Amino acid sequence: MDKVKRIFHCHRPSEIQPISQMPSEIPLLKDSWEGNLPCVHDPVDGCNNHNPRHHPVQFDPSLFSPDSTKHKPTTNVLDTVRTPDEYTIPTLSSALPQSPDLYCLTTIPRIHKSLPYTFSFYHLHWLLTHRRNGTLAHAHLQTLHCVAKTGQNPTLSWVTSPLVTDDGNLLLEYAMAFLVQADLGAWTPGSRGRAVAKHALIGSGYRDFKPCLHTTLAFTSHRGEGRDGVRTAGVAFTKGEDDGREVKGDWDSARDAGKDVEPLCCSKCYTETVLSFKLRGDQTLVSIQVYKNLGRGLHPGDPKWLALTKGIMVGRPKEDFLRMRREYEAMCET
């Protein structure tokens, strides 16, 4: 028995140093190493922006954080019409140490299981080091800009877009969308009768959006109605607030057209979630935009980064809500 205990003791992983004991400065390595693109999770993976035809690509599984969830390939739906046969896959490198004690491999938790985008601290540090050195180019931002269609019932389209603020923080937008359609049978806009489809369920996978470690979002059902030649639709959803409350929401195309949906803003980290709905013909477009401020990428102990990756709370007043979205949109216009 003692021998068995000794064996397991010898092979037991060493304890990771507590966050509070991280050194104030992270020493860089003499030689840099090549990192994974955020959309790469196996040797032939990649999104439609970086590796749509799944050519062999740089992949190092050891770079995934030990505390991150299981990572699956992007499995993006290929657009065969607009995808070139030949393209250049971007690369990135880092000289940060890979020791778990230093948290340089920590990642932002996935917003949704069908959105395989693994953004690590070394990505943030790499990009903003270029900014601090005056070498930041559009190509560097494009390296972290991913586009794909994944999942099913329904398919989730998603785009991630980074922008650097004037004060050197990185804003990251996740733009996601999916379509739902209520079955009204033979009803058409030319029909005189009435058709109703109530409480059509949305795929169970669309009930587990997690914009951040403190908030949740679930789409539960949708509906449709045809009457007097006009089609209307609705979507039911639930927002999990950062204080643990669940707030039920309901969008109706006849009642709420042109109105803003109450956003989901977190007071414990720098995350803002904006919802919108639009009836397009016989389908309803559901759009989710999540904005995150990842910090300046100087140190993995930055409170902004820790709030996003470890749930260590920062206090955000309500007056600050939607500032990131406004700032992001203003930069897009310039």
The per-residue pLDDT for range 13-36, each reduced to its tens digit, is 334 456 667 888 899 999 999 999
Mean pLDDT confidence for 173-193 = 90
Q: Are residues 134 and 246 in the same domain?
A: no
Please give the sequence-ordered ranges of beta strands (E in DSSP) within the chain, or none if there are none.
33-34, 93-94, 146-150, 156-164, 170-180, 195-201, 216-227, 230-240, 246-252, 264-265, 271-280, 283-293
What is the rounded CA–CA span in Å between residue 108 and residue 50? 20
CB 36 within 8 A of CB 90: no
Q: Are residues 308 and 276 in the same domain?
A: yes
| CA dihedral for 154, 253, 256, 259, sign (positive or negative) | positive
Is 160 inside a domain boundary? no
Token pair 């359609």 is found at 181
pLDDT of 153 strictly over 90: no
Mean pLDDT confidence for 86-115 = 92
CB 16 within 8 A of CB 45: no
Of the candidates 173, 172, 207, 213, the residue with the CA atom closest to the CA atom of residue 308: 213
Q: Domain boundary at 95, 114, 146, which? A: 146
Is 83 inside a domain boundary? yes
What pLDDT band is residue 2 in, cutting at 50, 70 and 90?
very low
Compare 83 and 280 and report the one with higher pLDDT. Answer: 280
Task: Please count the structural domains in the chain.
Answer: 2
Q: Are residues 170 and 299 in the same domain?
A: yes
**pLDDT on residue 12:** 37
pLDDT of 67 strictly over 60: no
Q: Are residues 83 and 118 in the same domain?
A: yes
pLDDT of 6 strictly over 90: no
- Tell me the residue range of the domain where 333 lies: 165-334
Q: Are residues 267 and 308 in the same domain?
A: yes
pLDDT in tens, 114-148: 888 999 999 999 999 999 999 999 999 999 999 99
Q: Are residues 99 and 237 in the same domain?
A: no
Q: Are residues 139 and 177 in the same domain?
A: no
pLDDT of 190 strictly over 90: no
Q: Are residues 107 and 211 in the same domain?
A: no
pTM > 0.85: yes
3-state helix, strand, coil in the chain (%, to 5): 20, 30, 55
